[in-house]
A and B are shown apart, each in its own frame.
Chain A
Amino acid sequence: MTLFVHVKHRYESLSIDVVFEAPPGLTVLFGPSGCGKTSIMRAVAGLLRSDRAEISLDDHVLSDGRRFLPPHKRGLGYVFQDHRLFPHMSVLQNLRYGQRFAQGGGIELGEERVIELLGLGPLRDRRPVALSGGEAARVALGRALLARPRMLLADEPLASLDAARKAEILPYFERLRDELDVPILYVSHSAAEVARLATTIVALSQGRVVKTGAARDVLADPNITPAGPRAVGAVLDAQVRTHHSDGLTELDAGGIALFLPNVSAPVGAMLRVRIAAQDVILSTDAPGAISALNHIPGQVKSMRAGSGPGTIVALDTAAGALLARITARSAKALDLQEGRAVWAIVKTVSVAPDDVGGGRG
């Protein structure tokens, strides 16, 4: 199932005009705060009557010049940033709320499966006020899934949670992406979240689409920095090879060994590893005696000088596309240019647990 979106809307301070497609998988609307992400989501859900909205799921028209399906007839599950659980109902009643209205044609998971998938069993009889933020986020997700949606819309579902709760919820979205056939449209301004979850990225800035495509390509494009140059980082696909006794996990990325701090995934598991551009050191000589464990040979593909002293260098390596953020001074000193052979050096400990996610993506 593919979602087609063309939304135009004018606010006093922002004019939105976007056209994009969300193919099966998890599509992230990625951009800084105030770039119109939430407005686009609300227009897709029918909660915002935008000036112009042509929205369809495959050939099922949700909105065009003449028609406007109200939200309750769209069959889209919406997970809100602030959860919005019904305070006068128990968790179970919240979960079951959408069932009586479900129109069919969406995903049928069944109550038991959703409760098991999201670990909601012990919460069943609680009231929403008695839930922690992470629990409420899981219930909100379960409630949307049990309404048998044709598609799931998630508007920064993790933004209101602290880092520990985020780490608790992220795997559930990975499972939804990998195990279920639900297309997901997901809003985020967090580069780490995007790197872990996205299969497709729609990068937004000031109400316009600046780039759209497969997550790997968009994240490896040095010109796309929706969350600022500090948050730039490419994603490598790697397979767990060995867990070493000194606490390191060795992965195989396109034949190149990657050493990461202990990853709790079985040998053979496929992982996505986000390498932050500012954690990458470039060397034109083969690294000698150096404490950093990961040495990835490659070639400079392109370079982009920022407005400040930094330069983002895109590399082609056997492990995949990488980005490195170095100073313009270093780039000049090393005489970096397109096609130049370099080594990317990445400290093992610079890869945080949040940067490693499961799944094919």
Chain B
Amino acid sequence: MWLAPAEWAAVALSVQVAFWATLVSLPLGLLAAYALARWSFPGKQWLNALVHLPLILPPVVTGYLLLLTFGLRAPLGGFLAEFGIVFAFRWTGAALAAAVMAFPLMVRAMRLSIQAVDPKLEEAAATLGASRIWVFLTVVLPLSLPGILTGAILAFAKAMGEFGATITFVSNIPGQTQTLPTAIYAFLQVPGGESSALRLVIVSVLVSIGALLLSEFLAHRLTGRNAT
């Protein structure tokens, strides 16, 4: 392997962080996307704003807010710590920060594809005896799958590259919270670190392009299957 152990650790941690960030936010993102696409309820605009907030706020601010909420001395962070769930300065915190930052992208893609599913098909399914959850599982989910996968892959790519909120919330501890982008940043701060940084940049570019191609490929295959 042409990556040094420290660099490899950063790449592996980034993949781990992005994987868990995507996996855990997937059901929540799906619920938010469905709620925004299909339901009308009081406070819908507030939910919409809340979901999009990380996209608009400076990442540093999001990271600081996470620290204020999930830090060890914060009420919620302290409460969760009693159950052994600690985010501050752990890789789990990096995953949380990545998930929060990637959430708007994920929800946007999913919401659009759910909106594209004809609600008349949902009515038809209901008259055939399907409850709301079955309608979702058998009609909405398969028909919006390309968009849902796109949302998940976008979120994964975003989580791989998250910097501002991560470094603010969990710092940049090699082997523990140092992800790919924060490692690149760290290598650029020390003399002679450019070659390490460059290798990580290449990995970063490859992962991002790979994710993009994968999402295109899946979207193409799934839509193709529905059409014929």
Contact = CB atoms under 8 A, between A and B. Distances in A.
Interface of A: 45-47, 70-78, 80, 82, 84, 86-88, 97-98, 101-103, 127, 129-130, 143-144, 147, 153
B126 A71 contact: yes
B172 to A, nearest CB: 46
Contacts of B131: 70, 72, 101
Interface residues of B, number: 23
Contact of A101 (B121, B123, B134): B134
B120 A82 contact: yes
Contact of B123 (A73, A75, A84): A84
Contacts of B138: 97
B35 interface: no
Specify which of B118, B123, B131, B139 lies most central, judged by the most chain A CB atoms within 10 Å of its CB: B123
B120 A97 contact: no
Given A77-B127, A144-B127, 20 more contacts: A47-B123, A47-B126, A70-B126, A72-B126, A72-B134, A73-B129, A75-B129, A76-B127, A78-B127, A84-B118, A84-B120, A84-B121, A87-B121, A88-B225, A88-B226, A101-B128, A102-B129, A127-B228, A147-B128, A147-B129
B65 interface: no
A70 B129 CA distance: 10
A68 B92 CA distance: 46
A153 B144 CA distance: 29
A86 B130 CA distance: 13
B210 interface: no
Specify which of B125, B126, B226, B227 lies most central, judged by the most chain A CB atoms within 10 Å of its CB: B126
B129 A98 contact: yes
A76 to B, nearest CB: 7
A93 B92 CA distance: 43
A78 B120 CA distance: 12
Nearest to A87: B226
B8 to A, nearest CB: 42
Interface of B: 118, 120-121, 123-132, 134-135, 138-139, 142-143, 225-228
A97 B125 contact: yes
Nearest to B122: A84
A144 B128 contact: yes
Contacts of B127: 45, 47, 71-72, 74, 76-78, 144, 147, 153
Contacts of A130: 228
Contacts of A97: 125, 128, 130, 138
B131 to A, nearest CB: 5
A86 B121 CA distance: 7
Contacts of A102: 129
A181 B130 CA distance: 24
Given A82-B120, A84-B120, A129-B228, A98 B128 contact: yes
* 9 nearest A-B residue pairs (beta carbon): A101-B129, A98-B128, A78-B127, A84-B124, A71-B126, A147-B128, A72-B126, A88-B226, A88-B142
A98 B132 CA distance: 14
Contacts of B126: 46-47, 70-72
A127 B227 CA distance: 8
A103 B129 contact: yes
Specify which of A80, A84, A153 lies most central, judged by the most chain B CB atoms within 10 Å of its CB: A84
Nearest to B118: A84
Contacts of A127: 228
B124 A80 contact: yes
Contact of A88 (B128, B132, B135, B143): B143
B132 to A, nearest CB: 8
A47 B128 CA distance: 12
A267 B139 CA distance: 49
A77 B124 CA distance: 9
A44 to B, nearest CB: 11
Specify which of B121, B128, B130 lies most central, judged by the most chain A CB atoms within 10 Å of its CB: B128
A289 to B, nearest CB: 59
Contacts of B228: 127, 129-130
A124 to B, nearest CB: 16
25 contacts: A46-B126, A47-B123, A47-B126, A71-B127, A72-B127, A72-B128, A72-B129, A72-B132, A72-B135, A74-B127, A75-B129, A77-B127, A78-B124, A80-B124, A86-B139, A87-B143, A88-B143, A88-B226, A98-B128, A98-B129, A101-B130, A143-B128, A144-B127, A147-B127, A147-B128
B223 to A, nearest CB: 10
Given A98-B129, A129-B228, A71 B143 contact: no
A99 B30 CA distance: 28
Contacts of A88: 142-143, 225-226
